[in-house]
Amino acid sequence: MGNNLKTDFSVVVLAAGKSARMGVPKFNLKFNSTHTFVEHIAHEYYDLGCKEIMVVVNESGYSFIKESIFDFPENVKIVINKHPEWDRFYSVKRGLQNLFEIQPTFIVNVDNPFVNRHINMALIKEIEEVDHVCPVYENKGGHPVLLSHRIIRNIVNAKQNQLNFREYLNNYSKKTIEVDDENILVNINTPDEYQRIF
């Protein structure tokens, strides 16, 4: 696919949760000695060739980012979700609404900072055939999900804001790709989970 990949797809990183159980913004957890979760995810998708990278945060998260120094690629845009209580669908919608260009877009949860380039490339290869693609490990669906133009347009234009994202996707054609990476199932919600994995 080469260097022209940058025009082909984008990513929305969902980071608007209140992180109540974690006690600190999950996006600011350290992935390694140089990058936080959100920085690592952004750089991985930038290196993959993403044209636009939307990071959706709540208002306190936005203030936190503005008052701190984050190492983001040049094409990251911070989007505010003023209603994090409306859950994932609205965060997805906010991210997609801010895309300059509608094209296949990854939906990534910031509490799963593991980015597998091979899995992402496999999803990209299948998205022309169906409305969305996701990886599966031992019959369990995981992250990320790659959405087609059709779903993106419908979410952007949806009058509803408080839908169950997973149930919403059930209305569309889907392809799953069996993978051998159990990290696609990770959701880090508590200090104990973070300590166990890192």
Domain chopping of the chain, boundaries: 2-197
Cα 24 → chain centroid? 19
pLDDT of residue 160: 96
- Residue 115's pLDDT is what? 97
Average per-residue pLDDT in the chain? 93
DSSP designation for 28? G
Please tell me the predicted confidence (pLDDT) of residue 4: 43
Q: What is the pLDDT of residue 13?
A: 98
Residue appearing with tokens 């296949």:
104
Alpha carbon 53 to its chain centroid, in Å, reads 9
What's CA 152's distance to the chain center, in Å? Answer: 14
Residue that wins the pLDDT comparison between 96 and 18: 96
Structure tokens at 136: 């599966």
The number of CA neighbours under 13 Å toward the Cβ of 90 is 15
More confident residue, 17 or 21: 17
pLDDT tens sequence across 96-144: 999 999 999 999 999 999 999 999 999 999 999 999 999 999 999 999 9
The residue whose two tokens read 């669906």 is 141
Looking at CATH, the fold of the domain delimited by 2-197 is given as Spore Coat Polysaccharide Biosynthesis Protein SpsA; Chain A (3.90.550)
Q: Per-residue pLDDT averaged across 5-31, rounded?
A: 85
Using one digit for the tens of pLDDT, what is the confidence trace for 141-196?
Answer: 999 999 999 999 999 999 999 999 999 999 999 999 999 999 999 999 999 999 99
7 compared with 27, residue with greater pLDDT: 27
CB burial of residue 123 (10 Å; 0-12, 13-18, 19+)? buried
The dihedrals phi and psi of 16, each to the nearest 5 degrees, come to: -100, 0
**Which residue type, as a one-letter code, is found at position 137?**
Y
